[in-house]
Each structure stands twice: as C-alpha cells, then as structure tokens.
Amino acid sequence: MSSPPDFSVKAAETSGNVDALIDLPRLTGLQIGLFLICAFVLFAEGYDLQALALAVPQISGEFGIPPEDFSLALSASLLGMALGGAGFAPMGDRIGRKPMLILAMVLTGGSTLGALIYPTTYWIAFCRLITGIGLGITTVNASAIMSDYAPARWRFMIMTVVNCSVPLGAFSAAMIAPDIIEHMGWRGIFWIGGWVPLVAAAVVWLVMPESLKWLVAVRPGDRRIARIARSIAPGIDPARLFLSEREEHTRQSVLGLMSPNHRIRTLVAWLGTAAGAFCLYMMISWLPTVLREAQWSTTDALRGTAAVQLGGIFGGLLIAWAIDRRWLVAAIVAGYGVSSLGLLSIGLLPESVLGWQFLLLLVGAGISGMQGIWMSIAVGLYPLELRATSAGWMAAISRIGAVSAPFAGGLAVAASMEARNLLMALVVPIGATVIAVVLARKHFVPPPPVVEEGDKAE
C-alpha cells in the first residue's frame, strides 16, 4: 500500500516560499550535514578559546615569563571576539555566510600557528587578537547560517545543541592537554589549535552550502540556488522561489536594531548577554583561585569550575526545548531563577565541597546555558536582513561583560572577598536581567513557522 502524499511538501514546492520549505517538519541530508559542519567549526572555536590558558604555565616556565604577564594576551582574544563580532561578522549579510566562515577559520588557524613564531607576550597578544577576531566572525555567521536552515519549530533546540560544540571543544582541549604537552610540549597545543581550524575551513569551502535564504534575497540569479533548493525539495521550481514579506532583504546597520520595532528587545537582550557573560567569565576566571583560598584542594576546585560548564550544557538544552515550545520568557526566567537560587544557597548555607559542586552545577545551568541562547535570540527574533548584524552586536556586547569580569574579579580577590560573597554578588546582574525580560516580555515572542494551505490540510 502506497504511503499518503505529503501535502506540506507539495504545497511548499508549489508556492516556492523558501521559508515554508525550511520550516517543514523534517530535516534533509543537506540540513543535517550543514549542522554537523557548523558543530565541527564551533568545536574548533572552543578548543582555541582554551588553548592559551592551558599553555601559559609551560611557556612561563620555559622562558621565565611571570604568568601574570600573559593577562594582556588572555584578554586580547576576548577583545578580538568583540571586534570580530561587531566589526567584521556583519559582512556576512553582504558577501555571504560561507565566505565569512572560511575567512574566520583561516584567521583563527593562521594566527594560532603564528603565535609559535616569536613566543613573547606582546607577539602572542597580537596573535590572540587576530584569533579572537576570527572566533567572533565564526560565532556570528555559524549562528546565522544555522538559523537560515533550521525549521522554526526546532530552531532554538538545533542551534543550542550545535552550540554545545564550543564548551565540548574547550573541555576536550583541557582533557587532552596533559598528553599533548608530554609528547609535543606546549607547542603541540598550538599546532593542533592551528591546523584544526584550517581543516574546518577546507571542509566549509568544499562541502557547506551557502544560505539559500541569503542567495534568494541578495543574488536571485545565482546558479547555486537551484542545486540547494532541489536538495531540500526535489520537485521545486527554482525560478519561483521567494521569501516571505517579513524577510525582504535590505542592507541594515546597527541603527536597524534601534528601530521602534526592535529597540526594546535589542536593549534587553544586550543587558542579558552582557550580564550573563560577566557572571560566567567571573566564575571561569576566578573560581579556581577563590575556591583554593577557601581551603579546597586543587582537584575539587577544578571540578567545581567544570560543574559550571557541565550544568551549562544540560541547562542550555532544557531551555532550548522550552523555547521551541514558545515558552521563551518562562524559560529565561526559570533558567536564571535556578542560577539565582544556587548562588543564594552558596552564600547562605554552610560550606560543603560536594554541596557547593552541586549548587555550581545549578548556577551553570542557567548562566552558562543561557549564553548560547542569547545568540539564538539574536538571529531567531530578527528578520533576515538584520540577523548577522544582530548576532554581531550581541557577540560584541557579550564580550564587554566578558572582558570586564577578570578585572572586577581581580579587584575582589585583591580585597580578600570570600568565595561565598563573590558568588552571591552575581545575583544582582542576573536579577536585573530577569526583571527587564519580564517587563519587556511582549517583545520576546518567537515568530511562528510559515504555514501554507497544504499544512492546514495535513
């Protein structure tokens, strides 16, 4: 007995609506392959984010450079990510997502290898600045092209799952670093960190398709449109493809994010990503130090820090699951509410290593888990012509919070602030974000999937 016809596919193919094709409740091989490539690219990003921190003790010992002299180099990559995200990544709206990803991976890999040429603090800082620019471009354009290919009803979940490749890359770097250093020295960390992005650039160039939505909007006569469209829907007529009116393409600047339709959403999202990044990088930068000063063993302190990232992976997936069911505001409030409860419990309950590690897992579930979600919001709640621009500025604002956190944490440590007080203080920026999101909740409604007549019939 033959299977019943798929009216959704037929209706989308007949209409030629690109949004309807992408929003169909199924994934094609082209879409799955693109998400896997993005995961590989972001895995390489996560590795390179962690690379220098892992190598600093060995570089310091070999060249007699005090570890604190690498502060500039450690901050340079975060500054570079802000510059790359806001200054260069929006070019993806003009020349395409794919060429920007190739450029980003070449910059990241080349500058990581370049740091081996002349291992001084200033040269490494310069190379890390270039690395950061590449990473900033990567984050934005990978998010943009994933959003362009992810069905609306699964968009946040898909993007969150793929974005988990960043902490997975950082985790993998930390796990294999001891073996790399044993067999290759600290330079081995940079060799791998340089060649993996270059391999990723080759994979993007040879295999990854350009955004179909971007091609239809910006280059409607491009020969790639027919090939990509027929990979998604074999019966489509490429000559009839169009975008929904809500995604008509015009070039936009950051002023578009401040238009009356987007201003409140933009400002609240910027507050959220900056506050979240500040709290996350405060913990990443200073938890090992403050926990050791609280008489924790080195192993327990590192496990406490790792708990934040582990919680972020699971928390991000749960938040994305809720958002894909159109519970965006509730998911944000619940995620940050759990983090606030964990932070307050650390501050008010008796100190216990095992108890604090569990509470840090809860803290990471909201704070770390939400950081990837903010990037998904940056592209999921804006029209096509603003997605890369929105994501670029979201990344830049996030880096402002990230860069300021190590300095603020350093002042707190210098003032001998106890670990519990330092962590409990993070409730303030997280609480401010929750209040702002609740007040602006009508501006955080995910757009519905594009529905054709055939979908209704189904």
Tell me the average pLDDT across 343-362. Answer: 87
| DSSP-H helix ranges across 119-259 | 121-149, 155-163, 165-184, 186-207, 212-218, 224-232, 254-257
Over the stretch 369-428, which tens digit does the pLDDT of each residue have? 888 788 778 777 887 778 777 877 887 788 788 888 777 776 776 787 888 888 999 999
Residue 425 identity: A
Share of the chain above pLDDT 90, in %: 24
Tell me the average pLDDT across 265-284. Answer: 89
Q: Is the pLDDT of residue 367 over 70?
A: yes
CA dist 279 and 46 (Å) reads 19
| 385 vs 361, more confident | 361
C-beta neighbour count of 330 within 10 angstroms: 15
Q: Which fold has domain 254-443?
A: Growth Hormone; Chain: A; (1.20.1250)
| 94 vs 297, more confident | 94
* pLDDT band, residue 167 (cuts 50/70/90): confident
| 452 vs 188, more confident | 188
Give the per-residue pLDDT at 8: 55
CB-based burial label for 441 (10 Å; 0-12, 13-18, 19+): middle
| 285 vs 231, more confident | 231
Up-side HSE of residue 299: CA atoms within 13 Å toward CB? 1
User: Mean pLDDT score of the chain, rounded to an integer?
Assistant: 80
* pLDDT band, residue 453 (cuts 50/70/90): very low
Buried b (16+ CB within 10 A) or exposed e, 38-54: bbbbbbbbbbbbbbbbb
Domain layout of the chain by residue ranges: 7-244, 254-443
Domain 7-244 belongs to what architecture? Up-down Bundle (1.20)
Residue pair 330/322 in contact by the 8 Å Cβ criterion: yes
CB-based burial label for 118 (10 Å; 0-12, 13-18, 19+): exposed
φ, ψ dihedrals at 325, nearest 5°: -100, 20
Q: Is the pLDDT of residue 272 over 60?
A: yes
Q: Is the pLDDT of residue 452 over 50?
A: no
Paired residues of 242 in beta bridges: 17
Residue pair 10/236 in contact by the 8 Å Cβ criterion: no
Share of the chain above pLDDT 70, in %: 84
- Per-residue HEC secondary structure of 260-290 comes to CCCHHHHHHHHHHHHHHHHHHHHHHHHHHHH
CA dist 50 and 111 (Å) reads 15
CA dist 167 and 315 (Å) reads 13
CA dist 352 and 358 (Å) reads 10
At residue 17, the 3 state secondary structure works out as strand
CATH fold match for the domains 7-244 and 254-443: yes
Residue pair 46/173 in contact by the 8 Å Cβ criterion: yes
Q: Is the pLDDT of residue 297 over 50?
A: yes
Give the per-residue pLDDT at 448: 57
At residue 319, the 3 state secondary structure works out as helix
Give the per-residue pLDDT at 249: 44
* pLDDT band, residue 302 (cuts 50/70/90): low
Residue 86 identity: A
| 81 vs 375, more confident | 81
* pLDDT band, residue 274 (cuts 50/70/90): very high
* pLDDT band, residue 296 (cuts 50/70/90): confident
Give the per-residue pLDDT at 362: 92
Residue 391 identity: A
| 389 vs 455, more confident | 389
Q: Is the pLDDT of residue 166 over 50?
A: yes
